Every structure is written in C-alpha cells, then in structure tokens.
A and B are shown apart, each in its own frame.
Chain A
C-alpha cells in the first residue's frame, strides 16, 4: 500500500487545503442502510418520494441535501414506526437495553448505548440529559418503561445528529487544516464504503484512537471492502456512475421486445457485478474495458445468446468467460449499451457522451440552443427512425460548425459501437438490411474499428484512471471537487500509477482514503 506503515496521521501538518463541507444529511440509501445496521429492522422506510438532491452525478453530495418541513415530517413519522418496532422485539431491544429499566442507571446506560450507535459517537453529559428528559416526561404521562424508552429512541432517531453527519472544527472560522476526530473519520469511512453507520469494531478503533494510525486505517479499509456491506458502495457508486440504476428504469420502444423487465434487472445487476469483480480482485483498472467476463443469470444468458447451460436460474448470477459472443469489457455490457441508447434506436452521440463524460471526465459542454431537429424529417414523414442510418444523420448534423466541435469529441466513440443495437444485441446489418460501418475517427485523428478497437484505445487513455480517481473522491467526500483538490488527486494518482504495482481499484481507494483531503478538514467559509 501507499502509506508509511505506522506513521501517525497527525505528525506532519498538511501543507495543502483539505477542503470542507457542511453537515451532511443522510440520503435515502444511507438512511435505510443505517437503520437496518443499527436497529436491525428490515423495512426500508425511505422511499423514492423522499427528498433527494443530486449534484456531480451523485445523490450523496452534502451541499444539495436540503431538508424541509415535509421531509422532516417523514423522518419524525419513520422514527416512531422504527422505535415501536424495536421495542416490540426482544431481540432488537436487547441491542441497547440489556438491563432492567426500572433501575435508574440502566436507563442512562441504555440511552448511552443507543446514542453511541445512532450518533456514531458517544453522547456527552448534556446530551444524555436531553434524552433522559424525554424518558422522564413519558413516565410522567403514565407510560411504562418500555414505552418511555421507545419515545427516547424516537427522539434520537428524529435528531439532527442522527440525520446528519456533523464534523466539528475546533476553531470554526480558522482556515488551517486539522485532522478529523476519530469518530468523524470512522463515519467518513463507513458512509463511503458501506453507505451506513460505523459498526462496533469501527467505533472501538475510533474510541481507542488507533483508527487515525495509517496502518490501522489501511487494515480497516480492507476489512470494510471484504465485508458484504461494501456491496452498498458498489450499488451506490457504480450504480450511479456507470448507469446501472438507470438501466432498470430505461424504457424502450415495443420493437425491442427482447428487453423484458427481467433482462433489464439482470443487465443492471451485471454492471454492478462487473465493477465488483474489479473491487474484489487485484485486476488492473485499465482492463475495465477489455476483460472478457460476463455475469449472467438465465434471462441474461438467453438474451446474450450464450449456451443455456451457462446459467440456469433467474437472479442467480454466474461469472462466465465466454469468448464467442463478440463482446467484452464494460462497453460490451448490455446494460451500458441499452441505457446509452434512445428508446427506439442507438445514439452514437449518447454512447460517446457516456464514454467521454463518465469514463474520461471530459464531457463537452451541453448543446447550444436552436439545434437542428435530427429526426424531424423522419418523424413527420412517417418513417420509422429505427430504420435510418444514424451515421448519415449525424454527419449531416456535424456540417454545422457549432455542432461539429462538440460532436467530434464524442461521436467517434459511439460510432464504433454501431454493431450493438439499442438494447445491446449484436447485429450484422441495420433493420433495412443496409451495412453497418463501425470504423470511426476519434477527435485526435486515430481511426478505431469496432468495440475491440475502441476498447483498446480508451484503455490506454490516461484520463481513464484520472477520471476514476475524481469520481471516487467526489463520492467518497460527498462534495464537489474544487481546484484545491487537484494536488490531492495528483498525489494519489502518482502513487497509484507508480511502476511495479498493479493499479487496482482497491489500491486507488486506499490511496484516496489516506490522502489529506479525506482525513483532514478546515474551518472557514
């Protein structure tokens, strides 16, 4: 790993600006996961209608996680449901209450136990007093001990310190960097890698201070990535970045009747499993577009035209290395190819935009106003756009100078994938029998042919690694990156790409977590 084993994080004051962010409200994914891990309840109360802000392609960016009265009401109601459920179950209740509440000391220790897990840090004496008063008020109203503790639990679950991750600056207006407190660091780690609260082991490492040592930190990161809870990192991070979440909701026209709900679900899952394979192995990130592996269950194997024996059940995925399917790497996954298409045909521009924007962090600016209506003629003339030669339409479009500049940055990538239709199936000709040309010219003049040629060129693009680091750090910090983050990124990248070591996804995560941007913060505006 990159870190100097045993070095103390606080030893050398950082020369670089680590940045800062405001109190960070849990998003719906984090709320559900936190509740499940801490309370042991199974219901997912945060639904799609809960308030969510999105920025920089992710739903965990602190700056846009606002709250209003309606959202607070949902928190308040959910807290009541959850507290009631916990107290109704002997097993769940025992997580916090392991003594007789009739005993005064037991009330205090139980509140402390619940507070530690819910606030992800110990409660101080004032806080203990605040929540103790809720218990006493309920008893005063004639509630029994269990109901009174239920109310206390509800108060904790309704509190800002549960709903937000709050990081405190010793001197709030001072702009010099300081290391995060150990519990704050534990929360950064747990919400980055688990989308959830710190567990007992993490809280213990924070309590004894060992977590801030780089060797412990590194071992902790490995433990967390080996834990099944890291699946949440995969589904949140890759689910958004690589479009897996969109695949499930992607609507297609009736002519694509092979794209069933099962296939969409499986194709989405395949993206996550494919990404996860890189997280859990020592594979180089630069094989992301060339690794010839697929993850298929029965519907997806059938969809791909793979031999049936490869997968025999719905929702049970097998890792297969099947070399006769004319596809490999991320760009060959049906989920990617479908979600980067329109509902009734491919869109080389959209595919190119996803490659340039998501994978290389080089999206061209959005289209200017008054863009020509690409399919106007077709739609008005009653011609099915699926039968049109997309390349010709795009070429005409690019005769406009203001369109050409940006389309040149993206179309070349997408045109090389024309042998895969709007749902990612391989095709040898267009619907009307006309031939497909999958050779294309990239903006730097290089000519690539087909998926294989394209994957080869993009794999050697240095932006492929830099972009991954940028996306990981944005997601990991939950904030928009600024120019002051560039040196942190560069340092982590240099170390990651140093000769003699495999540039694996996991090593990059280690490097970013060890960076000062992750372990420090500062006060000020």
Chain B
C-alpha cells in the first residue's frame, strides 16, 4: 500500500483542463506522518449500558498483587491486569441534585446516559435553550476539537456502536440514550452500527493508483465539487429566508455538506499512508447483513460477530492513525436486546461457570439481577478485553503498544439495577505510556465523574481545562492524583 498521494503535476497533466484556484488550494496536503514523530495520544470511551452487576467490583483494593480481578472483569486476564485501573466510587448524581444524591426522580436511564460524557443535565440545558434536544459537549469532542487532536488525523473522531432497534428512550429525546458524543450543545453525533459503513468511512474515497486513474479521479472530484457548490448555494439562499431559530437547522446542514466537501477533495489523505491491513477484514460482509436485519434472532444476527467486526475496525483506525478519538456504545442505554446468543453463567465473587440456558433481554436482566445480569455484563467486558488485546498487540514506532498510548474508558452511567448515579462502574485500560498509573483498584472517597475527565484532559492529553461539566453541590472540580504516575 504505497503511492497513495496524487502528484499535483500528474493530476494537472491528466485532467487536461484549466483548474480554478480554489480547487488547487484544496488539493490534498502531504500525509502528516512525514513530519516529526510524536506520541499519538488516543481516547476510546466504551459505553456499558444498564450499569453493572455487583460482581464487577473487585473485592480487594490497592496496586499490583494487592488487588485481584473480580469475576466479571476476569476476561481481561493476567496479561491485561497490569494495564488496568479500576475506579470505585465515582458518581454523577451531583450533576442533577443539589445535595449530590444519586437518585433521579424520573427517566434515570436516559438522563444518566446523556450525562455520561458531558456531566451536565440535558433536561436543564434543553430548558435553558428552549430546545427539544440538547446536552453538553462531551469530553471526547472537547479533545477532538482541540488543536492537540484536530487536523492530526483524517477523521477528527468516530462514533460506533452495536446497538439494535430494541431500546426504550424513557420518554426523553432518544439522543440522550443513543448518542454519548455531542459535538456541541445542540448536536448529538449519531454512531455507525454497520461495520461496512465504518469501513467506508475509514477508507474514504478509493485512492488512484496511476496517472490515468488520477486524472479520472480528478474529474470525478470536479463534478462532485460542482454539485456541492450548487447545494451550498441553494442552502445559503434558503437560510437567508429563515428566522434565526430555523437557521440553526440549515447551519447544521451546511456544516455537514462542507465536511463531505472536504473529504471529497482530500482524495489521498484518508489512508494516512500507513500499512493498513484492510484485507484482514474478511468477516465484514456477514456482519453487515446481520447488523441491519429487521428481525434479529440468533438465526440472522450474531452480536458476537458484530462486536468482533467493530473491534477489528477500531483497531484498524488506530493502527493507521485515521483518528485518535472513538466513542463506542456496546448497546444503547436501557437496551432490551435479548442475549440469547449468550449462555447464562453461575457467578460468585471468585468466578463463573456455564449454566444450561441462555440470557433474556438486557433491561429485564438488569432488574432480575442475579446470574443473568452478571452474565451479560461479563460478556460485554469480554468483548472489550478482546479489543484491548488487539490494541496491545499492535506495536508503535516508539516500542510501546497502541494500547499503552490509548486510554480505554469502559464504564456505565448507573450503578446497576438500582438506577442510582453513584458507585459507577468505571475501568481504564491502557494509557501506561501517557502518564497513567496502572494495575490498581482505586477506591476513592466519593468523587464526581467529571474529576476523572478533568484529570485525563489536563494530565494525559495536555489540555488546559480548569473546569468541566456541572456540580450542583457547588464543589470545584479537582484532579484525581492517585491516577497519575510519579
């Protein structure tokens, strides 16, 4: 995989037409990798819906040999335990309640989910802005839009998920429970659930391999550009006839068109020039059929396969440095997906063994508690552990693994079947090369979730952020020093 960049001269010769200046200016830049090497710092929040079963939390605390994996975190195994950081006693109730209570009166699933990466109360933002759909900007998007990340990779960020049609939105806007990434207070970022769509996103337009093809590509590009010019002109004119409220809708549209325009024009940069093993993704077509099948049963839909495909794509995106920020939802919040592909297991604090029957639907299991809930949590953890192993197997130029340069944040928005917004399940994997202290079960003295984000943004990603999210108790946000090395 080489020669992805089109020589500007070759294009001009091949196209045989006079190009206008604006087009020349928007021709692809050289791949960034030619510049001085730097550590690619990555962030991968992975959303675990419906909270976690009690066997998530390790029975022992401390560092190294002092703590042991719990029976639900067991899939990480001895190999990944040294890269793990389990954080107990983080809470997000202080976003909602003056007294910091973890209790939410209503719609706790969707409201807590909405606050997972934003640490604000979406309802309050909606009321404040007078909109039917709003939230805070999410921590992954603060990173993606910051100069430390922006422009360093072809894609600023990526949102993916395994969700299926079966999830209730609790009467709130569905974006609260189905999109954890928010680019702004008014723009939820929809996630891609179809692995083939993720692949298309990653490949971008197919790069031309020789001069003739490059000329054809350039012509195609000019046609596309002429269409997009007309589209922009039309939308601008429409925008001018609208009131200020309605203009926001057109602004969102215009922004989306411009993003596509940029991608259409940046023909060669999408691959980043790295050795990207796209040919390794053999299972994708099968997963595509299943992910969008209207009726999902074990006969037509295999969530395990879906997860494996998504894991492969995430690893690929990081390996090729196509993006450094990905949010990944294992399911939507209040998922009612039936895990009848997963054998139920009998759990104790120490471990688990298979039982005879399969798991029921997720939300029912959450409230039934017991083995069915523990099993679904464990199964999801297993898929995340698979992904972490993949990331750990990819070595970077500086000798450490992609995982060491990535903070994988696996967590949920509520404790478990109690719907409470405290004692949240939170585990960090990786980040050892980014200054994180690892191999510990850190039992905190009740700290708000936003403290974790403030710590990551400042001490891991080098941003200068003094505050994030909302704390109705009036407390100032503070770093979690025990997370940091040295």
Contact surface of A with B, Cβ cutoff 8 Å: 22-23, 25, 47-49, 51, 53-55, 61, 63-64, 66-73, 76, 79, 126-127, 130-131, 133-134, 137-138, 140-141, 143, 151, 154-155, 158-161, 163-164, 166, 168-169, 172-173, 248-249, 251, 253-254, 261, 264, 342-344, 363, 365-366, 368-371, 373-376, 378-380, 480, 523-525
Contact = CB atoms under 8 A, between A and B. Distances in A.
29 contacts: A22-B246, A22-B249, A47-B292, A51-B190, A66-B188, A66-B190, A68-B189, A70-B201, A76-B227, A126-B237, A134-B226, A155-B227, A160-B238, A161-B234, A251-B296, A251-B361, A254-B340, A261-B295, A342-B361, A363-B171, A369-B103, A369-B104, A371-B419, A373-B368, A373-B370, A374-B368, A378-B368, A379-B370, A480-B132
Contact of B417 (A47, A63, A164, A373): A373
Contacts of B372: 379
Interface in B354-406: 360-361, 364, 367-372
A140 B18 CA distance: 10
B242 A172 contact: yes
Contact of B297 (A66, A166, A251, A371): A251
Nearest to B201: A70
A197 B246 CA distance: 22
B295 A264 contact: yes
B378 to A, nearest CB: 15
Interface stretch (B57-65, B255-263, B427-435, B448-456): B255-263
Given A343-B364, A369-B103, 16 more contacts: A49-B192, A55-B133, A141-B222, A151-B223, A160-B250, A166-B238, A253-B360, A342-B360, A342-B361, A344-B360, A363-B171, A368-B419, A371-B417, A376-B369, A379-B371, A380-B371
A1 B225 CA distance: 52
B291 interface: yes
A366 B419 CA distance: 12
Contacts of B231: 155, 158-160
Interface in B440-470: none
Contact of B360 (A137, A141, A343): A343
B264 to A, nearest CB: 8
A395 to B, nearest CB: 18
Interface in B244-258: 244-246, 248-250, 252-253, 255-257
A49 B105 contact: no
A22 B234 contact: no
B165 A66 contact: no
A374 B228 CA distance: 56
B256 A72 contact: yes
Contacts of A163: 253
A72 B256 CA distance: 6
Contacts of A169: 243
Contacts of A69: 255-256, 259-260, 263
Given A158-B231, A159-B230, A249-B294, A525 B132 contact: no
Contacts of A371: 367, 417, 419
A36 to B, nearest CB: 19
A64 B104 contact: no
Contacts of A379: 368-372
B461 to A, nearest CB: 23
B106 interface: yes
Contact of A374 (B131, B192, B244, B367): B367
A127 B234 contact: yes
B319 to A, nearest CB: 21
B287 interface: no
Contacts of A160: 231, 234-235, 238, 250, 253
Nearest to A347: B364
A49 B256 contact: no
A163 B248 CA distance: 16
Interface of B: 17, 102-108, 130-133, 165-166, 169-171, 173-175, 183, 187-190, 192-194, 197, 201, 219, 222-224, 226-231, 233-235, 237-238, 241-246, 248-250, 252-253, 255-257, 259-260, 263, 291-292, 294-297, 338, 340, 360-361, 364, 367-372, 417-420
B420 A370 contact: yes
Contact of A23 (B250, B257, B294, B340): B250
A248 B367 CA distance: 25
Which among A64, A76, A254 has the highest number of chain B CB atoms within 10 Å? A76
Given A64-B173, A173-B243, A72 B257 contact: yes
A106 B385 CA distance: 63
Given A141-B222, A159-B234, A22 B369 contact: no
B72 to A, nearest CB: 16
Which among B223, B231, B368 has the highest number of chain A CB atoms within 10 Å? B231
Contacts of B245: 22, 524-525
A53 B294 CA distance: 17
A64 B165 contact: no
Contacts of A166: 238, 242
Nearest to A384: B357
B230 A155 contact: yes
B239 to A, nearest CB: 8
Contact of A141 (B133, B219, B368): B219
Which among A79, A138, A143 has the highest number of chain B CB atoms within 10 Å? A138
| 3 closest A-B pairs by CB | A172-B243, A69-B259, A369-B419
Contact of B246 (A23, A79, A248, A365): A23
A67 B257 CA distance: 10
A351 to B, nearest CB: 15
Nearest to B340: A251
Which among A55, A66, A141 has the highest number of chain B CB atoms within 10 Å? A66
Contacts of B417: 371, 373
A287 B132 CA distance: 35
Nearest to A124: B237
Nearest to A385: B368
A141 B253 contact: no
Contacts of A54: 169, 174
B260 A76 contact: yes
A343 B132 contact: no
Contacts of A378: 368
A70 B190 contact: yes
A48 B222 CA distance: 31
A254 B341 CA distance: 12
B369 A373 contact: yes
Contacts of A131: 230
A133 B226 contact: yes
A342 B361 CA distance: 8
A61 to B, nearest CB: 8
Contact of A49 (B166, B174, B194, B227): B194
Given A69-B263, A133-B230, A248-B295, A63 B190 contact: no
A405 to B, nearest CB: 13
Nearest to B165: A249
Contacts of A370: 103, 418-420
B434 to A, nearest CB: 28
B194 A68 contact: no
Nearest to A138: B223
B367 A64 contact: no
Contacts of A525: 130, 243-245
Contacts of B259: 68-69, 72
B173 A55 contact: yes
A463 to B, nearest CB: 18
Contacts of A140: 17
